[in-house]
A and B are shown apart, each in its own frame.
Chain A
């Protein structure tokens, strides 16, 4: 699976949009981009995933660049409860195991 690169930490003001970048320049055509988040002492929570097209659900939006080498997770209106470590993961189509990097620690500030 392709490796991902994320900034180690980010701050976001409460109520503003949080834009979390992820670089996956070696991604292959059949690899998915997944986003999970982990709040302290809990299991990772699924947020969203995509292959080529942008995706949106009740939690977030996922914007994937046309060349698929990077993506951005958007939390439209961040709240204090969104403070967590966010993981961007690339997964091959034939495997369902996820390789976690260090993620981005997002701090939502009042």
Chain B
């Protein structure tokens, strides 16, 4: 199946700093990418949807100025958690859709963010 690469796998940062997470589609062009967040023992919650070359659409309750999303190319989307605080500690996961994927959506391996 298609491969979605997410980097880094885990990151520890100090409160107040910013963290960037990358999501790449390795063997297909991702016209749309999605960012999810998952807290311990809970299900995935959609944060935002990004289409290549346009502004991301955020779900209700997700601060767009705190979670900056860039989808500048068909193979790369980035999520930047700005001025991170301990409550932002979570598992962040991206998924990608491409028109050649026969209706399949693939997920990255996730990034565990711990804010101290």
Contacts and interface: CB of A to CB of B under 8 A. Distances in A.
Contact of A102 (B6, B32, B43): B43
A43 B1 contact: no
Nearest to B1: A46
Contacts of A96: 32, 34, 97, 105
A43 B110 contact: yes
A100 to B, nearest CB: 4
B16 to A, nearest CB: 26
Contact of A43 (B45, B49, B108): B108
Given A32-B103, A49-B103, A96-B97, A44 B49 contact: no
B44 interface: yes
A96 B96 CA distance: 9
The secondary-structure label for the interface of chain A is loop
A98 interface: yes
A97 B46 contact: yes
A100 B43 contact: yes
A66 B110 CA distance: 36
Contacts of B34: 96-98
B44 to A, nearest CB: 4
Contact of A45 (B32, B36, B44, B107): B107
Contacts of B93: 43-44
A53 interface: no
Interface of A: 32, 34, 36, 41-46, 49, 87, 96-103
